[in-house]
C-alpha cells in the first residue's frame, strides 16, 4: 500500500466513524511489548492457562484442553495507544462470556475485575463486564494462522471495536496480554503493568484516555 492508498483508506474509515481521534490507519502490524519474546517447545508441553481467584473452582488448562473449548471468529478494528489503528483484523479463539455461560468458569458473585497475566509477570486489568463483551477474545489465530511469537503465541487477549458499533465499550490494544498464562478474578481493581507506568486505567480510544495524568 503506497502513501496515497493509505490516506485514501484512512479517509474511508474516518467517514465511517471508525477512526478514533488522534489515530492513523496502518496496514502494518507493529510489535510492541516490554521484555523478551517467550520461546516454547513445539508441543507446548510446558504451557498452561490458569484461572484463579474468585471462581468456584480454579482450573489449569493444558494446550490440549484449550483445543476442546468452544471457538469463535471475529473481525475487529484495533487501536494502539501509540496512535496506529488497524482495520478489519480477523481473529479466532475463545470467548470468556461463552466459557462462563457454558459453565467452564463460574465466577463468584464478588468478582468485579479480571487481571490478565502474561509471561514474565506482565499484567493488564479490566472490569469483568468488559471482558464478557463480544469484542474481547482469548485469541489463538490471526488472519487464519496461529498468532506469531512476536504477537503473543500461543494465546493472547485482544480487545477492539466492530465496524458497525465502533465506539461501544472498546479499549486500546494494550488491554490484551500477549503470551497469556492466567486469568485472575478479583473483587477490587489492581493496576496492570502499563497502567502502573502511566497509562490510563479505562483506556477508551474514543475519549483519548491514553495516559493517567498521575505522573
Ligand X SMILES: Nc1nc2c(c(=O)[nH]1)N[C@H]1C(S)=C(S)[C@@H](COP(=O)(O)O)O[C@H]1N2
- Enumerate binding residues for ligand X (CB under 6 A): 30-34, 80, 118-119, 122, 151, 173-174, 176-179, 194
The CB-nearest residue to Mo ion is 174
Please tell me the distance from the alpha carbon of residue 120 to that of residue 167, in angstroms, as a whole number: 32
Q: Is 32 in the site for Mo ion (CB under 5 A)?
A: yes
Distance CA 8, CA 4 (A): 6
> Residue 32 or 187: which CB sits closer to ligand X?
32
Half-sphere exposure at residue 134, Cβ-oriented, CA atoms within 13 angstroms? 9
In whole angstroms, give the CA distance from residue 171 to residue 167.
9
Smallest gap, in angstroms, from Cβ of residue 23 to Mo ion? 13
**Minimum separation from the CB atom of position 146 to ligand X (A):** 13
Stretch in the footprint of Mo ion (CB under 5 A) among 2-10, 24-32, 51-59, 126-134: 24-32
For position 174 contacting Mo ion by CB under 5 A, the verdict is yes
Question: Cβ closer to Mo ion: 54 or 81?
Answer: 81
Instruction: Please report the beta strands in 32-160, taking only residues with DSSP state E, as ranges in sequence order.
Output: 48-53, 59-62, 72-79, 84-94, 113-118, 123-127, 136-142, 145-146, 156-159
Amino acid at each position: 500500500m503506497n502513501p496515497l492508498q493509505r490516506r485514501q483508506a484512512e479517509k474511508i474509515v474516518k467517514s465511517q466513524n471508525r477512526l478514533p481521534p488522534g489515530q492513523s490507519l496502518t496496514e502494518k502490524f507493529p510489535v510492541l511489548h516490554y521484555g523478551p519474546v517467550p520461546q516454547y517447545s513445539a508441543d507446548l508441553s510446558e504451557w498452561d492457562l490458569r484461572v484463579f481467584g474468585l471462581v468456584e473452582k480454579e482450573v489449569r488448562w493444558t494446550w490440549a484442553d484449550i483445543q476442546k473449548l468452544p471457538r469463535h471468529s471475529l473481525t475487529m478494528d484495533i487501536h494502539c495507544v501509540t496512535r496506529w489503528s488497524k482495520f478489519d483484523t480477523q481473529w479466532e479463539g475463545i470467548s470468556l462470556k461463552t466459557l462462563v455461560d457454558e459453565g467452564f468458569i463460574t465466577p463468584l458473585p464478588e468478582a468485579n475485575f479480571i487481571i490478565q497475566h502474561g509471561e514474565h509477570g506482565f499484567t493488564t486489568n479490566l472490569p469483568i463486564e468488559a471482558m464478557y463483551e463480544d469484542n474481547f477474545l482469548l485469541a489463538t489465530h490471526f488472519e487464519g494462522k496461529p498468532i506469531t511469537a512476536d504477537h503473543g503465541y500461543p494465546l493472547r487477549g485482544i480487545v477492539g471495536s466492530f465496524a458497525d458499533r465502533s465506539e461501544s465499550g472498546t479499549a486500546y490494544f494494550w488491554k490484551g496480554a500477549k503470551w497469556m498464562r492466567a486469568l485472575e478474578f478479583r473483587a477490587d481493581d489492581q493496576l496492570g503493568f502499563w497502567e502502573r507506568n502511566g497509562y490510563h486505567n479505562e483506556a477508551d480510544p474514543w475519549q483519548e484516555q491514553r495516559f493517567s495524568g498521575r505522573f
